[in-house]
Structure 1
Amino acid sequence: MKSPRSRIVLLWIILFFAYENYAQQINVQAEAKPLGELLTSFHQDYNIQVSFNARFVNKCLITTNQNFPSPYKAFDYLTASCGCTYKVMDGVFVILKKRVAINRGFHTQRFIYQGQIVDKMNQEKLPYATILIDKTSIMTDSEGNFTYQSDQQKTKLLASHVGYFVLDTSIQANHNLRIELSPSITELQEVTVLSTQKINVLNPEQKSGLAKVNNRQTPFLPGSTNNSLFSFLRLQPGIMASGEQNNGYLLWGGEKGESHILFDGITIFNTSNYNDIIGAINPIFIKDIEVLKGGYNVDIGDRLGGVVDITSKSGNIDTATYEISGTLNSFNGYVNLGIASKSSIQIGARIVGPPTISSIGGYLPDAIFVDVTTKYTHRLEEGASFAFTTLINLDAGRTPKRISGTNDYKTEARTSRLLGGSGTFIKPWKKIGRTTVRVAYSDFTTDYTTYSTTALLDSNYNPYRGRIYDQRFFNNVQEISIKGAHYLPASQYHQLSIGANFTHNSSKINHGIIKRFSNVEQYGTRFGAYLKDELSLFKWLVFRLGIRVDLPMHAETKLLIQPRIEAIISPSREWKINMAHGVYNQFITETTIVDAYRNYTYHWSLTDRQYHTVPQATHTVLGVSGRYRYWNCRAEAYYKRTKNTLQYWSDSNDQMIETSSGKSYNYGLDVKLGAHYKNQQIWMAYTLSKSEVQFNKSKPRTRAPQDQRHEFKVAGMFNWKQFFLSTNYVYGSGFPNIQNLISAENIRPYSRLDIGGLYRFKATEISIDFGFSILNVLNTYNIQYNNLANFPKEEEQYRQAMPLNLTFFAHFRF
């Protein structure tokens, strides 16, 4: 097998030749030739993507014979000769008229542009799409809505979204605009298009620490049939893949519980289950995933670390849709039905049983996973809408294992339950913008039991199996929230939004071993509000200013203020620089408990000054991103400092010793390089990071348990006609030995190669996928932290991560 270093060298060679191909000269020979014909020849001869109004540009005739060192030099000359200008948006050269300055009086009429960005194929709303309107860049909300005001009754609009072609059109001021984008990959390549736009995995121009994907890309990743969320996240820089912590993502070196995971506004406290293959969110329901690793503004998140914001499908009111998918031991069904003329309902259900064949450790684990997801959507008059989402899943597993050299058995049994629901109301107003109100509920319970059984005799000397010891670990956490936000119409120079929220949390803990956490109940309520403004001071400079306040309601009430600022600088057409700095608080977290054997266990508890001091983090981010025709890159450096983190220690007698509030330090560098051509793409990601903790001021910092210096990832997605193939490889330098965190030695490096593919075809009205997924192709032995309660034995601190796993699947749509 080739070493990771040889793969890095090979990828650099590929990217180098892609760049050399891009840097070709542009030869322009024309005599009284319309500009539109020249631009068309650029696409045919140099594969340069161009968008223009033919009636406008063909009025200009070009006579020249020159060689230009790059496409930008050619466009500079041609547009200057014709009195127009151009802008590059997602790799497309867009020809624009020069704007004429207007003398604005006090009584200038204002026109409102209000509408939605939707998928042209299925009318799904596209969240967080980018719009360039009246030369001002704005972003849609989670339902694809936008509002803009201008003194122009007619203007030019460009719209783009991950996985879709850029739309260049003109629009009239209207309150019910519906902008349709065509997907860059259709189910059977049914749409023939001239453009060769890529499928973007990241959209680097919008926010600091951002990674994005939608449901048109995730089916092509290995393992995404059952857990598309983890399959995507593990391949992004700054999101740790080593250790395979898919029940609590570690973003930019953060601790467990510091990342906020949302599904339609529902807080997801745990995203995995017993066998770590099935994700808590049904992949068929996922429409869009937006990951913010740090440096985000005040309208997002409620944690010290990153945010994973998942948006579900909107539902189709015009057409009934049915989907069935499955593997040898799992079933997933989905139905979308239109109700009356303005409503739709979606229902999805999954059932996952135990493995059909197992030889690991000589026993067959018993496990079952069941979940049901629903969403009801109703469209009201004048663009208003209401949506109600529910999520219920139950996960149960029992693993018996014979204790070596005895007739005794050790059994681990776990039951977890997740209940959630949210209702969202969106009201666009004719002149004052858009209002969103959301009510959400989340309830997560995990009940973990460890016990041993042995052969015993009853009073009549009949043999039976009895329990030697029984330990139970129970944790329940709930959240109820009401959030409201109002977005004033965006203008050329600023976009203002305000919001307020009410949140109630509760936690119940029964540790089972440590007496301090026997039957503990906690409750907390808080109010919050924020103000955010985006200022476009110059064409090359955008400031996002925000301030957030939280007020926990208890005897020691104190107003917590969290200012945040972000700046985006565009020094040239193809490069952007982003900077962000902000303060963040968290009011419910997974508290760490360390026993005498240095086993780490976690439970959800409140941190609202009544029970513990509220932890606080400071994020500082500096990044640069570039985008060219066939490749893109992004690099971001980050520094996160957290104080008031709490850690508990117990001695050999199970007595609790509470440490003083500690500090953690996370800093590192993310780099991502990608190359693409039509529907083929390959990317490489590298993270250099360091995570340290300090719980005693008189002692130096030590390595955090999740500290890892290097992590390298390479992935590719390829499409030829009806065949799709995807492969990826991840290498991590390894974690420290938790028995000796002051040592620089690691326990074991991480290495995993995955391959997946599918064949897609259509039979009458049914679209069919047949595919396979191979996880850990080389069957490399990797470790995974056992974040459940551990037995007091050193060898129980780690367990084997994903072994070789081959899955065949089928997917039917009709």
Structure 2
Amino acid sequence: MKYNTIFFAFFFLFIIPHATAQKKQKIVIEVVEQPLNRIFLSLRDVYGFRFAYDEDYISKFSISLSGEFDSKEDAIRHLINGLPLKYEKSGDVFMIIPDRGLKKDSVSFPEIEGQILEANTYEPLPYSNITINGQPLASDQKGHFSFIASTDTSFALQISHLGYYLYDTVLFNSVNRQFFLNPSVQEIGQVLVKRYQVEKSALVGDEPGKMKLNHVIASYLPGYGDNSVYAILRLMPGILASGEQSSDLLIWGSYEGQSRVQFDGFTLFGLKNFNDNIGAVNPLMVKNIEIYKGGYEAKNGGRVGALLNILGINGQVAKPAITFCINNSTVNSLVEIPFLKKSSIVAAFRKTYYELYDPAKLNILGPARRYRMDSGGQSNMNNSNSGMRNTQIGLSALPEYNFMDANLKYTYRGDNGELFYLSLYGGGDNFLYDVRGDYLNVNLIRQEKEGNRQNGASAYWGKTWGKGVSGNFTIAYSNLNNSTSEENRFVNLRTQKEQIKKLIKVENDVSEYSFRSENSIPLLNGHSLDVGFGYVLNNIKLERKSFADYLINMDFRSERAYAYLQDYLPVGGIVELKTGLRIDYSASLSRFYAEPRISVSVKAGENWKLNTAWGVYNQFIAKTAIVDSVDNYAYFWTAANNDNIPVLKSRHLVGGLTYDNNNFTVSIEGYHKTVDGLTRYVSGTKRIRNGYYSGDGRSYGIDLFIKKSFKGNMAWLAYSLSRSEERFPFNRGRGYRPALHDQRHELKLAGILNIKSFYLSANYVFGSGFEKTTATLDDGSADLPIYSRFDAAVVYRFAPKKFKMEAGVSVLNVFNHENIKYSNLKRVQTRDRSFINVYSEAVPFSPMLFLKMKL
């Protein structure tokens, strides 16, 4: 900054007096060892020059020149004399381009190739959006891109990445280099240089069914300061927030286990996420988040629902860094260590330091009410008690929960965009509730335990070959071990006799070994081909015991190979056509499965974009619902076989329209999905014999997203209108009926206000209620509990000495609305006609503090 000031003072002191002293204006230049790009800026400001040039390229040249010149052309010729530069004039614009007259270009067509990195940390920025002469394309996981032109020799290049400044320049002829993007917020001591970090929360409408999220803003939303990724996900359209689903994502009507979460290339099968404060992915490790809600391209597969792809940071190579977070219940830490010249090591650790919930504060007995079970509800699949009167009483249980996980990652950055990393993950959680309470003349004792152990590892190597061809190879492993038990005991208060009504133990272990190769081949003018292949092996073990008897004892093995070919064709900078075919071969089933995909995007004017997509999707491992005699549901991993569990097959049809102008975005997107091969295992009913049953489902709906950003502040609205239905042989009439997660309306409002170093935020979620929680009262009316939750937070950022710090206070469920947690509603039968609902309460009124420090 000091040298810039001296230079400009020097420039104006010498140029302006000389210029004004001449009767006929001459161009006066007096510079000593100054970068050429700065000289051009001064000529623009003083004499009205207009330039087009590659700033990074010409900034390499330092110029010393003293003289007066009669014309602009004369001044330019003297400035670039002896440099490998020349100029061309288009109107009154001087285009400064490389002079390749003395060196024959060996490339048949001009090629723009490079890697996109963050300016401070040298982190590759994957899947950045790029426009070259109006033709759109995207970088790969390494941040690499390549564009081959047929006729152009000059290229208007724009690069954008969520949460970063726009990179805008002009290039000439072929280049192959790195492009550095600056974060929209940079901290220098106690001075905050910013371009409104929170303005860009999400990128929607760029591709059918796809969203890209700015995970950084999660720390400004209400929560624990190191909020899980779920804190921002739950506020997006089409992603279920009502019911606070704890162990899976329900997106666009997908069932539990039908969507995949992937981190650094390995699958996360799921850990609990109670109260939205802890997720399976450490937020300090997150670099990039992409969500494919449906209609996604051929290179993605293996699921019939949605895909959540998360990439982790690679770590700083310039200097070590330490980040530490603490809140009401957890500690979180991250260490980044440069290793040798081109490598880095990242380590992260999280742990609850006391039980999240206090079981001593159980609200054992809720209000009693009379209700009638009938055939209208989804839960009455067996209908053995249909039409009978039963007493229902609510028991609210707050569970014990503890959690721990760790990440370790090594990254090597080679020349020409080469990238290698080894990413390791291990985590586990334990969940327990123990309810004891008197009901009429019975003492109820119910205990439920669940333990999860998740491990994952991946090795990735990506390299750019000749002529812009880019490829990568990934080897990955992941495993989830789930152990659950459920025991119901009753003590007769008169006779003191104890009876164990239910004792269930389940062990479910699922592992995945995979290899994949992905390659991108650039053709002319943005046209490209993607080709890839891979191999996946899943081993699954499921044991379910009732007392000492095995109800299920199965080992599954799913082995399959796949290949895909995908063509991306931009037409005239207006239409983007993407066609692809994916072929899966199941060695376990000895069968091929074809999955055609197609999508079209059209720019309908400067600010409008129309998207549509259609595709076929197959899933070979999934969660199967196990239903007991009182309609409690539990989900466990199984694999398709030739016997009782079919392959899931789904068809997606997606369409949407987006308007984006002046930081105002409106997006509306509709979908229709069908799925065949749904599986239920029924156990312990009188009307239906035990065993597996297959069915089908359908879901359809509309998402609306409205966002406005203004001077560092932002607000958005997300609304979903949807219907999810299913059909099984045991349904009365065998027609479609509402699915368990069917909910008609969900509305979300969120806003962040930035006042100097303070960030004030609030969000609200309303859900119209689930079919699963519906009861029919004596008067025939339906009792459908709604979901309503309002959260608020204040965050303060400051930088004492060498530290960068954030402190904040959040209040979840400000109005303490009593909500039901979707995945933890259980029904207990006490006598033949008496039931008790036991549920884990969703987030109550919860004030919390957090502190985050970075060195």
Residue 763 of structure 1 aligns to a residue whose secondary structure is coil
Measure how far apart 1:757 and its partner are.
2.0
Is 2:745 the partner of 1:681?
Answer: no
Aligned to 2:290: 290
Equivalent residue runs for 1:377-392 within 5 Å:
377-392=411-426
Aligned equivalent of 1:446, options 459, 465, 482: 482
Residue 317 of structure 1 aligns to a residue whose secondary structure is coil
Does structure 1 retain, via aligned residues, the 8 Å contact 2:228–2:278?
no
Aligned equivalent of 2:818, options 773, 781, 805: 781
C-alpha distance in 2, partners of 1:608/1:652? 25
Is 2:797 the partner of 1:760?
Answer: yes
Aligned to 2:367: none
Kindly provide the amino acid, as one letter, of the partner of residue 262 in structure 1.
Q
**Deviations along 1:380-406, whole A, 9 cap, x unmatched?**
233211111111012123322223266
C-alpha distance in 2, partners of 1:83/1:581? 47
Aligned to 1:529: 563
Is 2:355 the partner of 1:354?
Answer: yes
Measure how far apart 1:170 and its partner are.
2.7
Residue 491 of structure 1 aligns to a residue whose secondary structure is coil
Aligned equivalent of 1:376, options 383, 387, 410: 410
Structure 1: runs of 5+ lacking an equivalent:
1-51, 61-81, 86-94, 98-106, 457-464
Does structure 1 retain, via aligned residues, the 8 Å contact 2:301–2:618?
no
Kindly provide the amino acid, as one letter, of the partner of residue 393 in structure 1.
G
Does structure 1 retain, via aligned residues, the 8 Å contact 2:185–2:193?
no
Is 2:850 the partner of 1:812?
Answer: no
Aligned to 2:305: 305
Is 2:722 the partner of 1:720?
Answer: no
How many equivalent residue pairs? Answer: 713
Aligned to 1:593: 626
Residue 382 of structure 1 aligns to a residue whose secondary structure is helix
Measure how far apart 1:791 and its partner are.
4.7
Aligned equivalent of 2:452, options 413, 416, 422: 416
Kindly provide the amino acid, as one letter, of the partner of residue 326 in structure 2.
G
TM-score of the superposition, structure 1-length normalised?
0.81
Measure how far apart 1:301 and its partner are.
3.6
Aligned to 2:741: 706
- Relative distance call for 1:56 and 1:241 in structure 2 (3 A) is same
Does structure 2 retain, via aligned residues, the 8 Å contact 1:737–1:746?
no
Does structure 2 retain, via aligned residues, the 8 Å contact 1:293–1:306?
yes
Aligned to 1:146: 145
Kindly provide the amino acid, as one letter, of the partner of residue 336 in structure 1.
E
Aligned to 1:615: 648
Is 2:431 the partner of 1:397?
Answer: yes
- Relative distance call for 1:520 and 1:797 in structure 2 (3 A) is farther
Aligned equivalent of 1:690, options 706, 718, 723: 723
Aligned to 1:246: 246
Which one has the largest radius of gyration?
2
Residue 218 of structure 1 aligns to a residue whose secondary structure is helix
Measure how far apart 1:786 and its partner are.
3.3
Measure how far apart 1:349 and its partner are.
0.4
Residue 203 of structure 2 aligns to a residue whose secondary structure is coil
C-alpha distance in 1, partners of 2:490/2:704? 54
Measure how far apart 1:257 and its partner are.
0.9
- Structure with the bigger RCO (C-alpha within 8 Å, sep 6+) is 2
Structure 2: runs of 5+ lacking an equivalent:
1-47, 54-70, 73-89, 97-105, 365-396, 493-497
- Relative distance call for 1:654 and 1:700 in structure 2 (3 A) is closer
Aligned to 2:268: 268
Does structure 1 retain, via aligned residues, the 8 Å contact 2:774–2:784?
no
- Relative distance call for 1:654 and 1:388 in structure 2 (3 A) is farther
- Relative distance call for 1:717 and 1:739 in structure 2 (3 A) is closer
Equivalent residue runs for 1:131-280 within 5 Å:
131-151=130-150, 155-171=155-171, 177-187=177-187, 190=191, 192=193, 199-223=199-223, 225-273=225-273, 277-280=277-280
Equivalent residue runs for 1:102-113 within 5 Å:
109-113=108-112
C-alpha distance in 2, partners of 1:275/1:132? 41
- Relative distance call for 1:655 and 1:164 in structure 2 (3 A) is same
C-alpha distance in 2, partners of 1:96/1:200? 33
- Relative distance call for 1:84 and 1:387 in structure 2 (3 A) is farther
- Relative distance call for 1:773 and 1:326 in structure 2 (3 A) is same
Measure how far apart 1:221 and its partner are.
1.4
Does structure 1 retain, via aligned residues, the 8 Å contact 2:223–2:231?
yes
Aligned to 2:325: 325
Is 2:51 the partner of 1:55?
Answer: yes
Residue 51 of structure 2 aligns to a residue whose secondary structure is helix
| More displaced 10-residue stretch of structure 1: 301-310 or 219-228 | 219-228
Measure how far apart 1:616 and its partner are.
0.6
**Deviations along 1:781-804, whole A, 9 cap, x unmatched?**
111123598655643464421111
C-alpha distance in 2, partners of 1:788/1:521? 29
C-alpha distance in 2, partners of 1:360/1:172? 70
Residue 661 of structure 1 aligns to a residue whose secondary structure is strand
C-alpha distance in 2, partners of 1:534/1:256? 32
Does structure 1 retain, via aligned residues, the 8 Å contact 2:246–2:273?
no
Identical-residue share of aligned pairs (%): 30
Aligned to 1:800: 841
Aligned to 2:114: 115
**Deviations along 1:521-545, whole A, 9 cap, x unmatched?**
1111000010011111232211000
Residue 530 of structure 1 aligns to a residue whose secondary structure is strand
C-alpha distance in 1, partners of 2:820/2:91? 63
Kindly provide the amino acid, as one letter, of the partner of residue 526 in structure 1.
R
| More displaced 10-residue stretch of structure 1: 616-625 or 492-501 | 492-501
Does structure 1 retain, via aligned residues, the 8 Å contact 2:489–2:500?
yes
Kindly provide the amino acid, as one letter, of the partner of residue 422 in structure 2.
F
C-alpha distance in 1, partners of 2:812/2:539? 38
**Deviations along 1:16-49, whole A, 9 cap, x unmatched?**
xxxxxxxxxxxxxxxxxxxxxxxxxxxxxxxxxx
Is 2:538 the partner of 1:505?
Answer: yes
Kindly provide the amino acid, as one letter, of the partner of residue 808 in structure 1.
L
Residue 227 of structure 2 aligns to a residue whose secondary structure is helix
Measure how far apart 1:655 and its partner are.
8.3
Measure how far apart 1:247 and its partner are.
1.1
- Relative distance call for 1:693 and 1:622 in structure 2 (3 A) is same
- Relative distance call for 1:768 and 1:614 in structure 2 (3 A) is same
Kindly provide the amino acid, as one letter, of the partner of residue 404 in structure 1.
D
Is 2:367 the partner of 1:367?
Answer: no
C-alpha distance in 2, partners of 1:144/1:482? 21
- Relative distance call for 1:246 and 1:355 in structure 2 (3 A) is closer
Measure how far apart 1:721 and its partner are.
1.1
